[in-house]
Amino acid sequence: MTKWVRFEDGGRQGFGILDRDEIVVHTGNLFDSPQPTDQRRPLSAVRLLAPCQPSKIIALWNNFSALAAKLGVAEPEEPLYLLKAVSSIAAPGATIRRPPSYTERVVYEGELGIVIGRTCSNASESEAAAAVFGYTCVNDVTASDIISRDSTFAQWARSKSFDGFGPFGPVIATDVDPASLAVRTELNGVERQNYPLSDMIFPVPRLVSALSKDMTLLPGDLICCGTSIGVGSMKEPSNEVSVSIEGIGTLSNTFVQ
Stated pTM of the model = 0.97
**Residue spans of beta strands (DSSP E) within 10-90:** 12-19, 22-29, 32-42, 47-49, 57-61, 80-84, 89-90
DSSP string, 151-210: TTS--HHHHH-STT-EEEEEEEE-S--GGG-EEEEEETTEEEEEEEGGGBSS-HHHHHHH
State how far the Cα of 4 lies from the Cα of 8, in Å rounded to an integer.
14
How confident is the model over 97-125, as pLDDT tens digits?
Answer: 999 999 999 999 999 999 999 999 999 99
The pLDDT value recorded for residue 196 is 98
> What is the average pLDDT score of the chain?
97
State the amino acid at position 98 in one-letter form: R
**Neighbouring C-alpha atoms within 13 Å toward the C-beta of 147:** 12
Identify whether the C-beta of residue 169 lies closer than 8 Å to the C-beta of residue 92: yes
The pLDDT value recorded for residue 190 is 98
Q: What percent of the chain has pLDDT over 70?
A: 100
Identify whether the C-beta of residue 143 lies closer than 8 Å to the C-beta of residue 97: no
The pLDDT value recorded for residue 81 is 98
**Neighbouring C-alpha atoms within 13 Å toward the C-beta of 250:** 9
Per-residue pLDDT of the chain (257 residues; tens, 9 = 90+): 999 999 999 999 999 999 999 999 999 999 999 999 999 999 999 999 999 999 999 999 999 999 999 999 999 999 999 999 999 999 999 999 999 999 999 999 999 999 999 999 999 999 999 999 999 999 999 999 999 999 999 999 999 999 999 999 999 999 999 999 999 999 999 999 999 999 999 999 999 999 999 999 999 999 999 999 999 999 999 999 999 999 999 999 999 99
How confident is the model over 51-65, as pLDDT tens digits?
Answer: 999 999 999 999 999
Spell out the alpha helix ranges (H) of the chain. Answer: 65-71, 125-131, 156-160, 204-212
State how far the Cα of 69 lies from the Cα of 237, in Å rounded to an integer.
33
The pLDDT value recorded for residue 86 is 98
The CATH homologous superfamily to which domain 1-49 belongs is FAH (2.30.30.370)
Q: Pinpoint the residues of the chain covered by CATH 3.90.850.10.
A: 50-256
Torsions phi, psi for 133 (to 5 deg): -85, -45
State how far the Cα of 51 lies from the Cα of 139, in Å rounded to an integer.
14
The pLDDT value recorded for residue 92 is 98
Q: Pinpoint the residues of the chain covered by CATH 2.30.30.370.
A: 1-49
How confident is the model over 187-208, as pLDDT tens digits?
Answer: 999 999 999 999 999 999 999 9
State how far the Cα of 142 lies from the Cα of 160, in Å rounded to an integer.
5
Instruction: Indicate the fold that domain 50-256 takes in CATH.
Output: Fumarylacetoacetate hydrolase; domain 2 (3.90.850)
